[in-house]
Amino acid sequence: MENLSVLDDKDVLRQISSKVAPPDPLVITPENVVIYRTKVAQLWIEEDIRRGVLPADLGSLSDAHDYVDSNMYLLEEGHPCPRVGSLLEWREWDFWAVCHHSNLVIDALNDWLRNGHSGDASENLKLQS
């Protein structure tokens, strides 16, 4: 039997997501959503590595495409606050703003993966102050 990705195990996916405090929906900002999405994606990737879905030596998010639709690590369908669940829900943004914020998450995860999965991927974020 093939290993089940956390992306396909919605109950576990929600349990893992609940380990990260989401931004307050009354004061969410793009920056705190990017931090939240990075932290959650890291936990989901770690779980898929633990399950054997992804290889232990995974070096980039694009390499994960060989095993899963790794774009799904970037969003959480059905999140109680849609703007926290997905950067696509920031309706006032144009295409390039969505890409920019998604790339911040992807770059931080790639840095974390390249550095042997050590530490907190959100520490690799290159947010403008």
Is position 129 within any domain? no
Run of H or E including 35: helix 30-51
Which long-range contacts does 43-46 make (Cβ < 8 Å, 24+ apart)? Answer: 43/16, 43/17, 43/19, 44/6, 44/7, 44/13, 44/16, 44/17, 44/73, 45/73, 45/109, 45/113, 46/117
Q: What is the pTM of this model?
A: 0.93
Is position 20 within any domain? yes
Residue 22 lies in domain: 6-124
pLDDT at 129: 56
**Domain tally for the chain?**
1
Is position 1 within any domain? no
Is position 61 within any domain? yes
Tens-binned pLDDT, residue by residue, of the chain (129 aa): 368 999 999 999 999 999 999 998 888 999 999 999 999 999 999 999 999 999 999 999 999 999 999 999 999 988 999 999 999 899 899 999 999 999 999 999 999 999 999 999 999 999 875
pLDDT at 25: 81
Is position 24 within any domain? yes
Burial class (CB in 10 A: 0-12, 13-18, 19+), 82: middle
pLDDT at 1: 38
**CA-based nearest residue to 28, from 91, 90, 92, 115:** 90
Is position 96 within any domain? yes
